[in-house]
Amino acid sequence: MSRFWSELAGNLTPYVPGEQPQGTRLVKLNTNESPYGPAPGVLAAITATTDDQLRRYPDPQANELRAAWAAREGLAADEVFLGNGSDEVLAHAFQALLKHAEPVLFPDISYSFYPVWCELYDVEFRTIPLAQDFSIKPGDYAQRCGGIIIPNPNAPTGILLSLEQIREILISQPDVVVVIDEAYIDFGGESATSLIPRHDNLLVVQTASKSRSLAGLRVGAAFGHRDLIAGLERVKDSFNSYPLDNIAQRAALASLADESWFSASCQRVISTRERVALRLLGMGFEVLPSKANFVFVRHASRDAAELFSALRERQVIVRYFNKPRIDQFLRISIGTDAEMDALLEALEAILAA
Ligand code: PMP
């Protein structure tokens, strides 16, 4: 610890993202990026950026983008909040909406950034164990708390809650904010944005990083009642009143304008996932039912840490979490069919050895 660090910097257990090896020929299946490029209009919008768009500050309200994204979800522009990736949106949600005297609840196995934000912003939290089959049981969240945050589908399990189950949580908790983190919703799930008009305590968070192939651009959004959005804006403006740069705003607009590219790209990932899941089952893996762009698997007889290392030796990187209950699982992002064939071939060779 440096003598210049504050107590917070010294004591914080930092979030560690999946590794991002640069410029290698690895088959990279470890951070759930899209294997396909964004809609063609995105690159066109970026290259058409003008001098003025660089010289001037961006629209601090990002009005055009908010209106377009809101319309897609059947909402109004003031029911949308934008940030640099959904990580920034979520960070503001912890500060503005989830910090109360009672603890915030989230699943014990979920996005590992949640406890880090709690530590950073001094938010009390209590984790709720997943059921035996790794699913989330809505009834477990009907307890006194200061708020709830759940990824849907959950990460790293990929298991989806139905809209009816989310409604059950909302109805049991009308007086606290319920955040549904939909980073992976576009791969077979149904967004909870349709519940917003009837539930003023629901905040739905989405990202352009996965299904829109824009992880490098950093664009995320939250949808909810305008009072929730106003709370997020208050905190955001005090950090950085220009959440999205001009290029990101224009590129995200171009992505939203191409619905057919979007659905085709998601569908490709879904069909590859279903094919790979069947092959993995045939190889002796248990595959949790995934509605995300990854699968979470464990082998009946082979150690996950050893499989992880053996794959790495064969230039395939997946994600291994050395954590209780999931230390025999591997999380494998869905890549192109060729990448997944390379993974399956490598696994076959490892299992045969
Ligand atoms: N939520 C979940 C559950 C995630 O897995 C991720 C990706 N690491 C994020 C949010 C954040 O994604 P981004 O900041 O790229 O929008």
The pLDDT tens digits of the residues spanning 338-353 come to 999 999 999 999 999 9
Asked whether 186 lines ligand 1 (CB < 6 A), one says no
Question: pLDDT-derived band of residue 241, with 50, 70 and 90 as boundaries?
Answer: confident
Q: What is the pLDDT of residues 49-76, one digit of tens each?
A: 999 999 999 998 999 999 999 999 999 9
CA of 75 to the centre of ligand 1 (A): 23
Per-residue pLDDT at 23:
67
**Cα-flanking dihedrals φ and ψ of residue 98, to 5°?**
-110, -5
**Cα-flanking dihedrals φ and ψ of residue 319, to 5°?**
-110, 135
Report the share of the chain in percent with pLDDT over 90. 90
Residue 238 has pLDDT above 90, yes or no: no
Report the distance separating Cα 101 and Cα 146, nearest Å. 7
Query: DSSP assignment of 302-345, as one string?
Result: S-HHHHHHHHHHTTEE-B----TTTTT-EEEE---HHHHHHHHH
ipTM: 0.99
**Domains 7-37+260-352 and 40-258 fall in the same CATH topology:** no
Residue 111 contacts by C-beta under 8 Å, 6 or more apart in sequence? 151, 155, 181, 183
| CATH 3.40.50.2000 matches 40-258 | no
Asked whether 107 lines ligand 1 (CB < 6 A), one says no
CA of 32 to the centre of ligand 1 (A): 9
Q: What is the pLDDT of residues 17-52, one digit of tens each?
A: 888 887 677 999 999 999 999 999 999 999 999 999
Report the distance separating Cα 111 and Cα 94, nearest Å. 14
Per-residue pLDDT at 262:
98
Ligand 1 pocket: which of 89, 150, 207 to mutate (most atoms within 8 A of CB): 207
Q: What is the pLDDT of residues 278-312, one digit of tens each?
A: 999 999 999 999 999 999 999 999 999 999 999 99
Ligand 1 pocket: which of 106, 209, 217, 290 to mutate (most atoms within 8 A of CB): 209
CA of 208 to the centre of ligand 1 (A): 10
Sign of CA dihedral 5, 9, 11, 16: negative
CA distances from 232 to 83, 194, 225, 240 (A): 10, 20, 11, 12
Average pLDDT over residues 175-200: 98
Q: Where are the domains of the chain?
A: 7-37+260-352, 40-258
Asked whether 155 lines ligand 1 (CB < 6 A), one says yes
Asked whether 153 lines ligand 1 (CB < 6 A), one says no
| CATH 3.90.1150.10 matches 7-37+260-352 | yes
CA of 353 to the centre of ligand 1 (A): 36
Per-residue pLDDT at 94:
98
CA of 183 to the centre of ligand 1 (A): 6
